[in-house]
Chain A
Amino acid sequence: AQTVTQSQPEMSVQEAETVTLSCTYDTSESDYYLFWYKQPPSRQMILVIRQEAYKQQNATENRFSVNFQKAAKSFSLKISDSQLGDAAMYFCAYSNYGGSQGNLIFGKGTKLSVKP
């Protein structure tokens, strides 16, 4: 069975600084998808960024980028120029299929605080 591990329950970053959230996963599949979701307090979960395992190039979305290390089964999220609105729970997730073709397996999350 696939598993997702987020080893940092909480992280803190100064506004405008850069922070990296860690995620490792375990799978025997060669093709799969990885995601980072953001869940602000009392608000719904939204997709931040996704990575297809067959793509060697790391995904980027504006201030958000990932460091995907397939051999190490590592998938970290880097947030540059952190903003107050980035404060949220961040969940790393895995899927054997595209994001809407199969269920997502989530880690326990990392709570990110942004200090002004």
Chain B
Amino acid sequence: DTGVSQDPRHKITKRGQNVTFRCDPISEHNRLYWYRQTLGQGPEFLTYFQNEAQLEKSRLLSDRFSAERPKGSFSTLEIQRTEQGDSAMYLCASGGPTTDTQYFGPGTRLTVL
């Protein structure tokens, strides 16, 4: 168990650029979550996968956001045409099927200039 990893840890981009983040969950976990955390706030749910199926998406996930988990292992979160309001920490968590706990990764901090 090496924990949930996220890459990159920090990303600085210019407004209008596309960015992609990667999350590698704990290997035996079949559920994967993405959250967004802005300064001074708790994490907010974005989307959830069970294996490769995207089962739930928050209304926070605008059309510029897309997430995939093609083989039920790692996941990517892409933001197209970034805006300054997208600046936040993007957290990934994994869990299940034998654990009820969500284990969080270290996050990717996105800064949009």
Residues of A within 8 A of B (CB): 4, 33, 37, 43-47, 50, 91, 93, 98-109
Q: How many pairs, one residue from A and one from B, have CB atoms within 8 Å of each other in the complex?
A: 62
Chain B interface, >50% SS class: loop
Which chain A positions have C-beta within 8 A of B29?
100
Contact A101 B106, beta carbon cutoff 8 Å:
no
Interface residues on B, range: 20 to 34
Contact A103 B100, beta carbon cutoff 8 Å:
no
Which chain B positions have C-beta within 8 A of A100?
29, 31, 94-96, 99-102
Mark interface residues in B66-93 (1 if CB within 8 Å of A CB, else 0): 0000000000000000000000000100
Complex Cα spacing A87 to B95, Å: 26
Contact A47 B101, beta carbon cutoff 8 Å:
yes
Which chain A positions have C-beta within 8 A of B94?
100
Q: Which of B40, B45, B48, B102 has the most CB of A within 10 A?
A: B102
Pairs across A and B, CB under 8 Å, 7 listed: A45-B43, A91-B42, A99-B101, A100-B31, A100-B94, A104-B33, A104-B35
Contact B41 A108, beta carbon cutoff 8 Å:
yes
Known: A44-B107, A45-B91, A45-B104. A106 touches B42 (CB 8 A): yes
Q: Which of A50, A93, A103 has the most CB of B within 10 A?
A: A103
